Structure 1
Amino acid sequence: MTDPSKPALGLSVGVTTLTAVTADRTVTRRPVITLYRYRQPEVGLPSENPALDEPGLVLTDFVDRVGDPVGIVAPDGSVHPGEALLADALRALAYAATAGRQLPSATTIAHPAHWRTGAVEALRRALRRVPEWAADEPLLVADAAAAATALQADPGLPTRGVIALCDFGGGGTSIALLDAADGYQPVAPTVRHLDFSGDLVDQGLLAHVMAQLSAGGPLDVTGTWAIGSLSRLRAECRAAKERLSTVTVTAVPAELPGFRGDVRLTRTELDESLHRSLAELVAVVQDTLGRAGVRPADLAAVATIGGGAAIPVITTTLSEHLRVPVVTTTRPAATAAIGAALRAARGPADDSATALAALPRATGRALAWSEAADVPDLAPPVREPAAVVGARPLVDFEPEPAEPVDAALPWYRRPLSAVGAALLVILAAGAGTFVALRDDSSAAAPGSPTPSVTTTPEAARTVVAVPAPPGPVEPPAPVVQTQAVQAPRTVVQSPAPVTQTQVVQAPPVTTEAPPPPPVTETTTVVTTPPPVTETATVTQSPAQQAPIIPTIPPIPAIPGLPQIFVQPPTSG
């Protein structure tokens, strides 16, 4: 539990603001450090720190350079690591919070939640080199966790569901999702949204004021002499934005070449300048919830910290679109530093919860945006993200192997496609044979038998072996080769060579379909392997043809096939 008598110090780090909180004091400074040759460094601007009474070596923009291996080059040519400059700035801020007294031994520093592990370790090593913290090393925690500690104490947070913590800083907005049932641990990496920040709001108000001034007459702000005037006007716009958190209208003093006076600015004008960028921020919050798998019913509340949380339109817009209560404090800019001080008072091993208050839609008087605890522009997660793994590995499917055709199978046991093709060839050959026989029968002498022979005007005669019918033969499924014989010829007076082909009956085909009727074919069809065929070709010239009609020898019978042709009678 918290010990009120134990002195504790809480510090928070932001891009535009450094904050320190003790039991009785709160101090904010801009992250600007001044180095001296014979005295300790000082932090802040001259308007913030009265101890800046002499010139020194001024360095800025070191918060974003924490962990960078390349140091910051000073105007005198010296090089300084970013984490070393931040450690010296925190030491100077701690002495400002204690009014120069000895620093308390219990100190907690809240760093930006989106810092990588390397940046946090670099700051830890730099703090160990500070003499005041060499023996009692400060505790380093993420500012989201420190803010959750402060919000539990006042005004209270739900104990179940997911809390969307939005930190509106000067350099950007950080969105962290905390699981209330798991000690407010982050459930997803912190998201950094740079398009909604205090600096951008200040720039928008400056453009609005310049537009009003230009409406009254032309202004020349292109010269270098106008840089100082514009810088002062921008600072006045920031102060007016802070005042509009509690009032509805204010005046912006302006001193420019050709104009000196006040410009009226209302809260409605501020809200209109924030309308577009605030709508984009709400979309980013909803997208963050969706990516983390948080359903709208699981969102218990939205917590807002940082200087921007004091602007009323931000609270009303988040509540209207997300449909949950918005929790904040009366000092949102110092929430992270207050939580760090509570952590320091409890001790590093004490994680006891504070008594929870009822959950109101809390709003109240807020500090200026310039006092907000801002964070750097980089957006790494609180935890080191796990390695990205694809949704599923690539799978290479092997193509199904085609069913092999056994080359040793006879042709009549091949697949149906080959059998069908053979049948078509047989039918075509039979039709050709029938037409040829009719032509020969019309040209033959009366009373003479008509042989089953046709002549073609080719120069070669082809005799094709017929495969053996199925039956018990050794070895299995052999191929029977038939000796090519000369077919009977008829004398045809033709100057072209005569090719005579033997006509045989096609073998039966064994398929699942009913066998076709026996047909005759002209054995000019050349079968393809694996059935082995031997073709004997005999070519005769017209001079070798005898002018007599030869006898037609009997057609040899093939075992297993019925003889359907009538043997022609032998002549004299």
Structure 2
Amino acid sequence: MGYQLSIDLGTTWTAAAVRRDGVSSMVELSQRSTAVPSVVFLREDGEVLVGEPAERRAASEPGRVAREFKRRIGDSTPLLLGGTPQSAEAVTARLARWVYDLVVSREGGEPDRLVLTHPANWGEFKLDLFRQALVLARIDTPTVLLTEPEAAVLHYAAQERVEPGATVAVYDLGGGTFDAAVLRKGDTETAAFTFLGPPQGIERLGGIDFDEAVFRHVLALVGVDLDEIEPDDTWTSGLLRLRAECVAAKEALSADADTTVSVLLPTVQSEVRVTRGEFEAMIRPTLADTLTVMERAVRTAGIEADELDRILLVGGSSRIPVVSELLASRFGRPLAVDAHPKHAVVLGALLADGGDPGSVEAATAGVDVSTPAGAAAEETPEPVPPASVPPAPAGPRPDAAAGSAPDRGTGAPAVQRSQRRRSPALLVGIGVGLALVVAVAVAVATRGGSTSSADTAAEATATTTTVTETTEAPAATTVTTTEAPTTEPPTTEAPTTTATPTTT
């Protein structure tokens, strides 16, 4: 009998799970863990290293590594891996293919169905690029896209009883994105969950921003200004080690009141003590933004906060103690936590539309993207990077995300349609102008030359100019109105650097 495969390509971690004969289990993607860092290293021979091996090579060859590239999906500026431009979608495809091949080799064959999870606030533009990553990966297994909050609530419902008609809010604070959604279970034990209102989110906010806050805080304490550093291999390696120390410190502060960060840089060797109070002060302004988004999700669901049965915490960053404190204070509702932050989404994805208790209805489960890889590859080629690629910025993260492009939706096709409409209008205008010129000439001939030929030419010229202005003006207006939708709505992005000023 076949099996199903789910993959969660997170900003910082990647996990996979399989379901066979009604039993779900995590896939061990490395010898030490089921989840691996979402890090890709491109070797000189074109082979790809993923996870911990990629991180080890990054210390000596930082120009060949990519991390946090999920945030870059939709960004027209490519990443540089070994001097070769790569789109974020192409790097995502390499990671997806690596996971897929590993599972296929262990399971002895390809899955019957693949489920990929994604942030709930992604628009159609980024979902299309996500589908294109599947095409680039040459994965032709029937595939379903599922939002991360849906997958998380399915896993929770499989572990804990959720009463029929219960309303659950999902607070999903992961490594790179934040999602907030409200779902309600149907009126029977086996009923599906449905969204109440559209999910809300902040696309560029997550644990890596908290890592950055600690990193900047430590640099400020030891007196290192990144703007004054001349990047070289020694500095790059030292800063990479320091970043790893800061990540470990952030995680330690969820359990300890303080921790120590070792600083080994060319100009300073020291140890810095960081307390939980200092860390919470760094991230409180950013966490306040997540509470505002959660309130908006509840409001757009058409309910009051006191109608929530519980708030489900999802994502590794939701385990930070101050998160629970702020949610309890703001909403006053019970908080629920899944056993493992890296497993909940990928295990829950296997239950989508599968007939299990609490499964999401097919209408909300995702989008079927099961297109044969060969045919799709011909229709959707890999994006061609710009002719001139800007050099990698100087600093500690040559592979760090440089921002993502707005979700453009269907703006470009709209412009093309307006350009096609312009040509008939222009032809009609020219025709009208010629008709007027002929009419003037006939009138002059009828009057028997009472008007001089010079006056006739001037009159014809004036008429033609007037027609040209009339036919060109609407064309310019049309372009303006069709370009406007390319700007992303302000609600889909929120400032993600709020924590940084607190640390410097």
TM-score with structure 2 setting the length: 0.58
Q: 1:62 to 1:42 in 2, by over 3 A?
A: same
1:333 to 342, 365, 383: 342
Answer yes or no: is 1:308 the counterpart of 2:317: yes
Q: Count the aligned residue pairs.
A: 346
Match of 1:25 in 2: 27
**C-alpha distance in structure 2 between counterparts of 1:52 and 1:138, whole Å:** 36
Contact 1:114 1:381 in 2 (8 A): no
Match of 2:159 in 1: 154
Greater Rg over alpha carbons, structure: 1
Match of 1:120 in 2: 127
- Tell me by how many angstroms 1:192 deviates: 1.9
Match of 1:229 in 2: 238
- Tell me by how many angstroms 1:323 deviates: 0.8
Contact 2:63 2:80 in 1 (8 A): no
2:7 to 7, 11, 36: 11
- Tell me by how many angstroms 1:64 deviates: 4.0
Matches within 5 A, 1:347-358: 348-353=353-358
Match of 1:273 in 2: 282
Contact 1:190 1:380 in 2 (8 A): no
Match of 1:183 in 2: 192
- Tell me by how many angstroms 1:325 deviates: 0.9
**C-alpha distance in structure 2 between counterparts of 1:207 and 1:177, whole Å:** 35
Contact 2:181 2:200 in 1 (8 A): yes
**C-alpha distance in structure 2 between counterparts of 1:57 and 1:253, whole Å:** 26
Contact 1:189 1:380 in 2 (8 A): no
Contact 2:4 2:114 in 1 (8 A): yes
Q: 1:128 to 1:259 in 2, by over 3 A?
A: closer
Higher RCO (CA-CA < 8 Å; seq separation 6+): 2
Counterpart amino acid of residue 176 in structure 2: G
Q: Residue by residue, what CA displacement relative to the aligned partner does 1:364-398 show, whole Å, maximum 9, x if unpaired? A: xxxxxxxxxxxx9689799xxxxxxxxxxxxxxxx
Counterpart amino acid of residue 349 in structure 2: A
Identity %: 26
**C-alpha distance in structure 1 between counterparts of 2:288 and 2:62, whole Å:** 45
SS in 2 for 1:352: coil
Match of 1:168 in 2: 173
Q: 1:77 to 1:9 in 2, by over 3 A?
A: same
Match of 1:247 in 2: 256
- Tell me by how many angstroms 1:45 deviates: 5.3
Q: 1:98 to 1:240 in 2, by over 3 A?
A: farther
Structure 1 gaps of 5+ residues are 355-375, 383-572
Q: 1:80 to 1:237 in 2, by over 3 A?
A: closer
Contact 2:42 2:81 in 1 (8 A): no
Is the helix fraction higher in 1 or 2? 2
Answer yes or no: is 1:139 the counterpart of 2:144: yes
Q: 1:293 to 1:31 in 2, by over 3 A?
A: same
Contact 1:146 1:337 in 2 (8 A): yes
Q: 1:381 to 1:268 in 2, by over 3 A?
A: farther
Contact 2:177 2:205 in 1 (8 A): yes
SS in 2 for 1:210: helix
1:91 to 90, 97, 103: 97
**C-alpha distance in structure 1 between counterparts of 2:284 and 2:77, whole Å:** 39
**C-alpha distance in structure 2 between counterparts of 1:211 and 1:56, whole Å:** 26
Counterpart amino acid of residue 96 in structure 2: L
- Tell me by how many angstroms 1:79 deviates: 5.9
